[in-house]
Chains A and B, each alone.
Chain A
Amino acid sequence: MTCSDEAIPARVVEVDGPNATVEVEGKRECVGIELVEPVEPGDTLLCHAGIALEKL
């Protein structure tokens, strides 16, 4: 969804190169992490449109 330009905080489960698997409310998704590297499992990332915008 682009409407409202809202981002969602998600917890990192696994890091794989420029991508990370994150968990949001029990669901897992893959996001690009180039903008916030380095990232470790357990970090919380603010994600929107399949990428991490900020490390929280």
Chain B
Amino acid sequence: MKYIDEFRDGELAQKLSHEIEALAEPGRQVKIMEVCGGHTHAIYKHGVEQLVPDEVDFVHGPGCPVCVIPMGRVDDAIALAERPEVTFTTFGDMMRVPGGRGSLLEAKARGADVRMVYSPLDALELARRNPDREIVFFAIGFETTAPATALTLLRARAEGVRNFSAFCNHVTIGPPLRAILDSPGLRLDAFIAPGHVSTVIGTRPYDFIVEEYGKPVVVTAFEPLDILQAVVMLLRQLRDGRCEVENQYT
């Protein structure tokens, strides 16, 4: 991928790390929630936690659609998958997620027709090729994934494909953030908001976080330098007493 080395440059990371150290106030703990699971992954993969001082804590947020799906929805998916006329399609990472009655992988082992797809468009292709089967797509994900489901349904309708349906479990990022902000005893100072979700929804849906709850937000991309720069931007806001939605995403 182009520019990947630039966004993982060790020298620049050290520079940002020193800047964060200079901005951190000794004895004042700053808790920053990275909303998206992609950021959590990047923080651990690249050891970003080791590049910030003890005064800065990352708090891992709710933004993993696989982790946040209620168990009952997995049970419903299994019930659909076990119907004899159904071919049930799902992203690979949902296969092992347990519901109350095991996982889709276990249902497959018992004989259910469960297939892994990379895109709902692949599920639609299965429907075109198998007109005698009911193809159901397990639609999960935040705003980044919902457009793929929507586009697939539009194509299915336009083509008159009647044996394709989506079991919709899409979620939006606003309500879980509000639920977190409303929780009693909350100790969070700022938010790293998800970059790719924001390419779909923009930055305005985060305005309530600064306006109603007074917490700074920086929309951030997924490389280690992006995350470190976001921490710098958030610490500057806190130092200056500002509270804004800023965009770091390049």
Contacts and interface: CB of A to CB of B under 8 A. Distances in A.
B152 to A, nearest CB: 8
Contact of A2 (B122, B145, B155): B145
A5 B151 contact: no
A25 interface: yes
Contacts of A49: 91, 118-120, 141, 144-145, 148
Interface residues of A, number: 24
A25 B5 CA distance: 14
A8 B3 CA distance: 13
Contacts of B154: 34
Interface in B123-152: 140-145, 147-148, 151-152
A9 B64 CA distance: 20
Nearest to A51: B148
A1 to B, nearest CB: 5
B169 to A, nearest CB: 10
What size tier do the contact residues of chain B reach? 35 or more
B188 to A, nearest CB: 20
Interface in A13-56: 18, 24-25, 30-32, 34-35, 46, 48-51, 53-54
Contact of B122 (A5, A6, A50): A50
A19 to B, nearest CB: 9
Contact of B94 (A2, A32, A54): A2
B196 A25 contact: no
A34 B151 CA distance: 8
Contacts of A4: 36-38, 40-41, 63-64
Contacts of A53: 144, 147, 196, 199-200
Nearest to B200: A53
B1 interface: yes
Given A4-B37, A6-B144, A32 B196 contact: no
B147 A5 contact: no
Interface string B76-108: 000000000000000111100000000000000
A2 B63 contact: no
A25 B2 CA distance: 9
Interface of A: 1-9, 18, 24-25, 30-32, 34-35, 46, 48-51, 53-54
Given A5-B65, A5-B143, A49-B141, 11 more contacts: A5-B142, A6-B196, A7-B199, A9-B2, A32-B151, A49-B120, A49-B148, A50-B122, A53-B144, A53-B147, A53-B200
Interchain residue pairs A-B with the least CB separation, the first 10 = A50-B119, A4-B38, A49-B148, A4-B37, A5-B144, A6-B38, A7-B196, A51-B148, A50-B121, A2-B91
